[in-house]
Amino acid sequence: MSGPRIAAAVLQKDLRLDLRSRDRLGHMAVFALLVVALLSIFAPSASAERLAWTPALLWVVLLFTSLLGLARAFQSETEEGAIALLTQAPVDRGWIFLGKAGATLVALLGVELWTAILFTVFLDVDWTPGLAECAGAGLLGAVGLAAVGTLLSALSIGVRFREFLLPVLLFPLVLPILVFASKITAAGLGGGEVRSQVWVAFALYDWVFALIGYFVFDGVLED
């Protein structure tokens, strides 16, 4: 079985699991709802202030919600002991990483859409002025979070204090995602401009970490 086919197979399996059990997706959706609802209760009501904070707030909510999903990225494999099966696949294991990260990407895109709706409902955010920018930031952000998150999730399998370790490992590495995405979102909503270097850096970041994940996954699965 060729590399891309394996990746597709892993992707499909995970998506099917996600949609069937609705555990992971459901938990992330409810979590996002809870956080946004709470925020809207004590968020500043003046619309200028609120607008200034919205992009940062959005990405913080997305970060924590993704964390929930990432912690479970390899849950099905560890529970069913399927990791051993994966490692026996006679193929470049980087493709397994891509499949896994792909599934996470889809889940994250779904979460983003849901969170955007929540922000509209609870915080009166109008996405239309900056739809293109926000969508772009959303896509690049989801790819980055999926790549880095899937890698780190794998790195922390079976490690003690994983609920503590995963965020500690993740947050410093994804700061660039948060900054780039919120800057672009802010520019989109407020009608400002973002230098093209930001887009380039963002895309480069995603590319670099996708590559790193792809190349080192061999080492990760060795056990």
Tell whether residue 148 is a contact of other proteins (CB under 8 A): yes
Q: Which stretch binds other proteins (CB under 8 A): 63-71, 94-102, 103-111, 207-215?
A: 207-215
Helix (H) or strand (E) holding 176: helix 162-190
Residue 198: both structure tokens together: 């930001």
Q: Which of 165, 190, 199, 203 binds other proteins (CB under 8 A)?
A: 165
- Yes or no: say if 156 and 162 are a contact pair by the CB < 8 Å rule: yes
Shortest Å, Cβ 105 to other proteins: 18
Show the site string, 90-109: x = touches other proteins by CB under 8 A, - = not.
--------------------
Q: How many CA atoms lie within 13 A of 60 on its CB side?
A: 8
Exposure string over 115-151, b if 16+ CB within 10 A, otherwise e: bbebbeebbebebeebeebbbbbbbbbbbbbbbbbbb
The owner of tokens 């399927």 is 82
Contact set for other proteins, span 173-192 (CB under 8 A): 173, 175-176, 178-180, 183
Nearer to other proteins, 89 or 220 (CB): 220
Contacting positions for other proteins (CB under 8 A): 148, 151-152, 155-156, 159-161, 164-165, 168-169, 171-173, 175-176, 178-180, 183, 198, 201, 204-205, 208-209, 212, 216, 219-220, 222-223
